[in-house]
Amino acid sequence: MFIIRLIIGIALIVGGVIAQAAWLGVCFGTVIIGVLLIFIAPGILFFPFTFGLLHGLAIIKGGDSNT
């Protein structure tokens, strides 16, 4: 069961990194949005990576009683 959680968790982390690269490309491809996000809401810039990392690590760690 741990192997499945590990694979799913790593897939979420990798997906978060890929989504982060695409998101930063969109934000800084349109310079106005990128600059506004830096000053107004910098947390939004790293949301895809944070989302993927936290959920991926939570799935890897598990917590169910079946282990």
Residue with tokens 């598990």: 62
Residue 7 domain flag: yes
Residue 16 domain flag: yes
Q: pLDDT at position 63, please?
A: 63
pLDDT band at residue 45 using 50, 70 and 90 as cut-offs: confident
Residue 12 domain flag: yes
Residue 8 domain flag: yes
DSSP for 19-51 reads HHHHHHHHHHHSHHHHHHHHHH-HHHHTHHHHH
- Model pTM score: 0.80
* Total domains present in the chain: 1
* Res. 8: pLDDT tops 90: yes
What share of the chain has pLDDT > 70, as a percent? 93
